[in-house]
Structure 1
């Protein structure tokens, strides 16, 4: 039984999907049952890297969704609108959806959830996080028996490439970003990547999977690498650390007697000890570390973006739906769905809320620019001690003939106490400025 595919978007990922569907030889036998029926593109005249018959192309994506020859809608156009509306239109028509759109799911996941549950269709999204890394299905199924305590990861290939180059070469951020853009690893407008928004979208999705409930995407604090100074990458290396843009989702309180789960979800540059499982992930590769009980630590590693890896994840989801259709029939019987993606089963979601940042505990890296005179380190140490902040190490680096740079790494401390210490240190006459402040594992 041939299954008709409607493809919304024929960019990098869409072309990769079309290429897989056009070359089924040597792949899973079900790929031969998939047929590209309609493709939505912005510009019908634009030259393309893959040949698609002209009669399949349309500049009207709604017509692709509505086409009765289309059984599964694949959304790889990106952006919030019209992607969100088209996903909901497909669901309303009873058509399963495969999407790689992290921004839509991170912001409108519950709306899509309710629509999918009501219509009895699948919405699968393996490609939305981690490119070719299989993480969505393992979190839903293979690790479903675990109490997940923490999910952390390097989930943006652009920033990981930039940080890897900065560490290896001592290069400045702006120069490496320009190289990444020339090589196609960074967009012409890299803001979503380098400012942390892309990683925040992805960790929002992983949070819903790990803890069974959503958190408001707009409430997730995200700090990128666009303000990162190369000297902090160098100092970190000298102290035995590497700097990575880390996305973290951690359970603080389980939530009992009807109280919501309390979660700490955030994105920021982080110093990792070289012994940490994520420290050796370099270049455009991604990795996601899941920690739970009873499994312990499990890490998923692989290419995080690009036509091949992302298209691989998209087609895997298509095959998942195709296999279910073969086993249970093409449509739900008497209005009952053959099954709903657990992420998108609205009734199973639990209440979650984000913790007040002042209540979280972290280790910290601080770089201070100070006058070069005796007693400065002692006065800085006193400020930390009076705020109840324990220091792991304090090192002075020469900045120039008139100033010094002092780098402090703290033990784990309550954020409110750490900020109290920083305010006191910034008020010292010998301290010219707090030059950098990063989290440390």
Structure 2
């Protein structure tokens, strides 16, 4: 009887510990699923849009839309300026230094607003003094870039309030889908399609901006000394973001210049399908970072092993189900996207492992310089591989292979630097 009672007590204690673990990590789970759903929503939006738009405007016109979006993504990097990563930490931890959250929010918005004014002037000069095909397409796509001024995604991630972002974005994208379905009926409607897509992003940004103001009780006041400090803190992450955009979005620009707009559409379809599993995978680090940022001890090696298994699982799913997705979404004219998709699947590993080192090794120790050097190294490898492959292979697959190899070198570099840092600490 005594043994049975002890067994029941032990079982009860185990169940109680499991419940406590679940409750203590429920915020992580909620934040993970909200972030993942938001990212998948953004990727799925264009996937759902493709069967509606591609047969109407054609592969070449749609490829040109993707090309313009890639060119303007440079402006988005300048506007965001690397505030997101340090911003998540500031929003998650109530007090880091003398700069409070309201002042940080004000500084970030002021910088983004000024940057958007300068970039708007540059775009005006470009469209009026240079020969550009469909200049109105550039103007309407730029509206989507301006939404980056309004949405402080770092605040919602750090405060773990991504649910409202998910709801607003879902409504916005659903409404725009209905407008596209009703109004985009002819090949000439490409510009109208761009207007609908980007104006919906801008309106959603306005709603989230006013909600963010209510969270931080922002008074839009800051000291110039604080402004300089925040910009200096974000500068390494700006370099990282700029290099990342150059590497990833330059693929679409490179393909458009050297191969054609249909090939851009082929690559884009693969990229958008690939975005679904990669969003699930890469949001793991972003979702758990606010929680672990408050902890002092956690095992990075266990996180890496777990993420290795996750990347293998997603690659298997891509190989098995990617062909069906390409046939269904590509309207039967973009079958080459499957091979691009499989090659891109190998890059999930790089996203996960490099993200793990970034969030849990380098960022907590203030080593943003290592992340910047890593991206510079990866960009160098990518450019060298691209040039070498272009001499021998005349197809778009070599662009993706160069990307995957550069990701492998990123992992090696991060592992080396992490080991180097641990030796310094141990010594």
Aligning the two structures, in what range does the TM-score lie when normalised by the shorter sequence? under 0.3
Higher Cα radius of gyration: 1
Structure (1 or 2) with the greater helix fraction: 2
TM-score (norm 2): 0.24
Structure richer in strand, relative to its length: 1
Structure with higher RCO (Cα < 8 A, 6+ apart): 2
